[in-house]
Structure 1
Amino acid sequence: MLAGRYRRLGRIGQGGMGVVWRAYDTDLEREVAIKELRVPEQVTEQERRVWYARMQREARAAARLRHPGIVTVYDRVMGEDGRPWIVMELIHGQSLEHLLTEQEALPEQQIAAIGLAMLEALSAAHSHRIVHRDVKPANVLLEGDRIVLTDFGIAAVEGDATLTRPGTVLGTPAYMSPEQIAGQTVTPASDLWSLAATLYAAVEGRPPFTALTHGALFIAIATQDPAPPKCGGPLAQVLNGLLRKDPANRLSVTQIRDLLTTVTGPGTKPDTQSCRSVDQQSATRTDTLSYTDDLTLPDDKGRSQPARAAEELPVEQEAVAIYRRLAEADPDRY
């Protein structure tokens, strides 16, 4: 029994640092979801305090937001061992990630509807000066017609003291923006990139960038363009307009809303003619690197040399270092 009132009934899901349980609130006689923080035993006491503080920040950030597209936080309680737990509404549905494992790709109208709901939820968070920083299919829950954004565990809250060391990379690599992987300041535009990456996965059945290692993935995000999406029209305009390297060049919320509404609006039918097979997508930009091209980086004397192996540096340090070297060598491009 947690905090003398929450009885765990069963595990809903598990991530890298936490577990979400279905539980019963014996005081209010209702089912809830509770999030348990699990910190590896080998971390230092200082690191442990940072993770506890981040969990508390998640509760505060989500509790500020009252929006049907954002999971409602009811309470934050402390366990007997001093760990914080978050009590929130129980969503009776599945994640977009789980749905994509079953269907691989979704119809355009459904994708646009999901995109609109996520856009409104993110706009609500941004209006409270909260940047989510981890928008991805696993954090989008589907409950009937309701679409809910969850997990503000690494959200950046304006006015709160930072919990992240300079240069540290937080987020899920495949859905992170170029500025995120470079360890730069995140903004609402960073969440919009991740929104587009999530919708791209719903169109293609995979994220816009894939690679065998995190380092290679970060380089791809920083230096390459994604393959053109299978479906054209307004939905493709949203994807292409948000997956731009420079945050200042990404579409505005109003532009995104207008384009997605064109797809979901009354009388709109799925544009089956705009959906192309993989074989028909061979026409890609020739001025960007393919996923399998070997990268060469300039050394201190300007000579080309192969990129360092991923094992030589921690993932985040390697990717940030490579990105910065690329930017120094060709600032106009990066």
Structure 2
Amino acid sequence: MGTEGGNVRVVGGRYRLEARIGRGGMGVVWRASDTLLARQVAVKELGVDETLSEDEARQQRERMLREARAVARLRHPNIIVVHDVVLHDEHPCIVMELIGGGSLADRTARDGPVDAVEAARIGLALLAALRVAHAAGVLHRDLKPANVLLEPGTGRVVLTDFGIAQVEGATTLTETGGFVGSPEYTAPERMAGDRAGAGADLWSLGALLCAALSGESPFRRDSLGGILHAVVYEEVRPPAEAAPLLPVIRGLLEREPARRMGLDEAERLLLAYLATGTTPRPALSRMPYAPIRREVPGLRGRRISTRVLLVAAALVAALAGAALAVALLLAHRDDNAPSGPTSSAPGVSRTATASPSPTPTVTVTRQETRTPTAPPGYRTVADRKGFSLAVPEGFTRSLDGPRVLYTSPGRTFRIGIKLSAVPAGGPGAAQRRAAADGPRTNPGYRDGKVTDTSHDGHDAALWEFTWNGFSAAEGARHTLDLCWREGRRMYDVWVSGPVGRIDQARAYFDAAVDTFAPSATE
């Protein structure tokens, strides 16, 4: 079992947690030191549903450990190495190799989309990883750019985060019946609630290749309902940038699993492209992908059925719950918005509780002491206004009245900070006043939501909304805004970014809130 001393936590008797480096739907990832072998590792703590009975929770932990150990048996250069699986404070922990550098999502956000040659190289590496996983009966089920690591120096492509993987014949690493995964990259058969085979991972690969080439999934929409409709029903329209690899992408994004391009054929076409610069036409006789289990009937041309609508309702309900609510709660508020609370940071675990009022209450319990340590690709700034926080490399500082702004080149992403006296009614009242004034301060203001929460033990409120941006050229934007009270001060941190790049805005928001610290004189 792990021990705790001061701010240091030791998991499994040997893994000393040093800094949180990520968070996903299934848990928190830490950079840690293996004190026995004197090496750096990554430790992922998997969350256990606290609402389960003692017996149900025990069964869930056992299932998580059993399936995590099955994933640990996978061995391939393009699959993250799992060193150990332990139980700490009743939470399963997966100990993995630590990969320097960032993810494919980080790379495209920082440097823009990759070219077709690089996309083909990444695609081949992921196909090799899936071949090994599927042969062992393991489905990944959350293949997306954020789960693809790119090792600096070597160019190695590493598939990570098997935290929601499914082992053949077993339930998932989450509770039975719960939806897991990222809707923009989720196969239509899974969206429809049908049983999905290994071909679902290949659909996700097709969407991932589109995102690598263009910067976003072809199924990205402004709402969960819009994403569901796009995945299950709308005509699939790969971006123009996908043209060099279009035969592969169209084959992988075939809605009917039985007609979807198989792993062998996708690999053949990508190899041919790298060798000749041209992607040959698919061999139709080689298209079907042999499933781990039966594939479900196709969805091509099917109207959205009652079952699909029920799945959509379940997804929306899930988003109101603890796990997926976090994703919505991480939308920040715009730089032109009045001060108010925003969502909690990556080092915070959030648990939503049902509330009869229009505004739900979220209880936030911080799992570690805030630290200004900047994650890779960020730098810590000590601002003369009386605070420090981590901002991405290349962001520049400016002032907008009492607000401090750190903006990316071209002002695509904006991080805003405001310090003020505590207003009447505290964070919640301040955010609601700002939301009520939203149509005046933010052109095209819509989908506004204020959620009472807490941050580092302090009263807080999160405001999230979409708006049209300051000009037609700028386009629609999404804002996440967290405001909290510490002593006699109100701290407000927000991030805004393009609607089509909400995930990246959330990542910047997480880092800003997680590393924010008032100056000692504050």
TM-score normalised by structure 1 residue count: 0.76
Alpha-carbon separation, structure 2, partners of 1:172 and 1:298: 21
Deviation at 1:29, TM superposition (A): 1.1
Does the 8 A contact of 2:113 with 2:212 survive in 1?
yes
- Tell me the residue number matched to 1:149: 159
Does the 8 A contact of 2:253 with 2:260 survive in 1?
yes
Question: SS state of the match for residue 11, structure 2?
Answer: coil
Does the 8 A contact of 1:58 with 1:151 survive in 2?
no
Alpha-carbon separation, structure 2, partners of 1:231 and 1:269: 14
Higher relative contact order (Cα pairs below 8 Å, separated by 6+ residues): 1
Alpha-carbon separation, structure 1, partners of 2:55 and 2:225: 27
Q: Which residue, 125, 140, 146 being the options, matches 2:133?
A: 125
- Tell me the residue number matched to 1:235: 245
- Tell me the residue number matched to 1:137: 145
Alpha-carbon separation, structure 1, partners of 2:314 and 2:195: 21
Alpha-carbon separation, structure 1, partners of 2:118 and 2:43: 29
Does the 8 A contact of 2:166 with 2:173 survive in 1?
no
Alpha-carbon separation, structure 1, partners of 2:112 and 2:62: 37
Question: SS state of the match for residue 240, structure 2?
Answer: coil
- Tell me the residue number matched to 2:438: none
Question: SS state of the match for residue 29, structure 2?
Answer: strand
- Tell me the residue number matched to 1:315: 315
Alpha-carbon separation, structure 2, partners of 1:47 and 1:102: 43
Cα displacement string for residues 274-330 of structure 1 (whole angstroms, at most 9, x for unaligned residues): xxxxxxxxxxxxxx99xxxxxx9799xxxxxxx99x8xx443689xxxxxxxxxxxx
Deviation at 1:91, TM superposition (A): 1.0
Letter in 2 for 1:135: L
- Tell me the residue number matched to 1:184: 194
Deviation at 1:65, TM superposition (A): 0.7
Give the direction of change, closer, same or farther, for the CA distance of 1:51–1:208 in structure 2 (3 Å limit): farther
Letter in 2 for 1:72: V
Question: SS state of the match for residue 67, structure 1?
Answer: coil
- Counterpart check, 1:248 vs 2:254: no
Letter in 2 for 1:87: V
Deviation at 1:160, TM superposition (A): 2.8
- Tell me the residue number matched to 1:302: none
Give the direction of change, closer, same or farther, for the CA distance of 1:54–1:212 in structure 2 (3 Å limit): farther
- Tell me the residue number matched to 2:271: 261
Question: SS state of the match for residue 122, structure 1?
Answer: helix
Alpha-carbon separation, structure 2, partners of 1:53 and 1:122: 25
- Tell me the residue number matched to 1:56: 65
Does the 8 A contact of 1:173 with 1:217 survive in 2?
yes
Give the direction of change, closer, same or farther, for the CA distance of 1:118–1:55 in structure 2 (3 Å limit): same
Give the direction of change, closer, same or farther, for the CA distance of 1:130–1:60 in structure 2 (3 Å limit): same
Deviation at 1:216, TM superposition (A): 2.4
Tell me how large the CA RMSD over aligned residues is. 3.0
Question: SS state of the match for residue 241, structure 2?
Answer: coil
Q: Which residue, 81, 92, 100 being the options, matches 1:84?
A: 92
- Tell me the residue number matched to 1:75: 84
Question: SS state of the match for residue 231, structure 1?
Answer: helix
Q: Which residue, 18, 27, 30 being the options, matches 1:21?
A: 30
Does the 8 A contact of 1:234 with 1:262 survive in 2?
no
Question: SS state of the match for residue 142, structure 2?
Answer: coil
Letter in 2 for 1:243: L
Cα displacement string for residues 78-119 of structure 1 (whole angstroms, at most 9, x for unaligned residues): 21x221111111111211111111123111100000000000
* Structure 2 unaligned blocks of 5 or more: 1-9, 280-299, 319-522
Deviation at 1:130, TM superposition (A): 1.2
Give the direction of change, closer, same or farther, for the CA distance of 1:12–1:262 in structure 2 (3 Å limit): same
* Structure 1 unaligned blocks of 5 or more: 271-287, 290-295, 300-306, 319-334
Deviation at 1:120, TM superposition (A): 0.5
Cα displacement string for residues 114-170 of structure 1 (whole angstroms, at most 9, x for unaligned residues): 000000000111111111111111111111311011111221211335667776432
- Tell me the residue number matched to 2:39: 30
Does the 8 A contact of 1:139 with 1:149 survive in 2?
yes
Deviation at 1:185, TM superposition (A): 1.2
Alpha-carbon separation, structure 2, partners of 1:223 and 1:205: 22
- Tell me the residue number matched to 2:119: 111
Deviation at 1:248, TM superposition (A): 1.0
Alpha-carbon separation, structure 2, partners of 1:66 and 1:297: 40
Give the direction of change, closer, same or farther, for the CA distance of 1:9–1:166 in structure 2 (3 Å limit): closer
Higher helix share: 1
Alpha-carbon separation, structure 1, partners of 2:11 and 2:175: 33
- Counterpart check, 1:3 vs 2:12: yes
Q: Paired residues, what number?
A: 284
Question: SS state of the match for residue 211, structure 2?
Answer: helix
**Identical columns (%):** 46
Letter in 2 for 1:134: D
Does the 8 A contact of 2:214 with 2:242 survive in 1?
no
- Tell me the residue number matched to 1:214: 224
Deviation at 1:30, TM superposition (A): 1.0
Deviation at 1:5, TM superposition (A): 1.1
Deviation at 1:40, TM superposition (A): 6.5
Alpha-carbon separation, structure 1, partners of 2:41 and 2:63: 21
Alpha-carbon separation, structure 1, partners of 2:177 and 2:11: 37
Shifted more, 163-172 versus 132-141: the winner is 163-172
Deviation at 1:61, TM superposition (A): 2.9
TM-score normalised by structure 2 residue count: 0.50
Letter in 2 for 1:12: I
- Tell me the residue number matched to 1:276: none
Question: SS state of the match for residue 113, structure 1?
Answer: helix
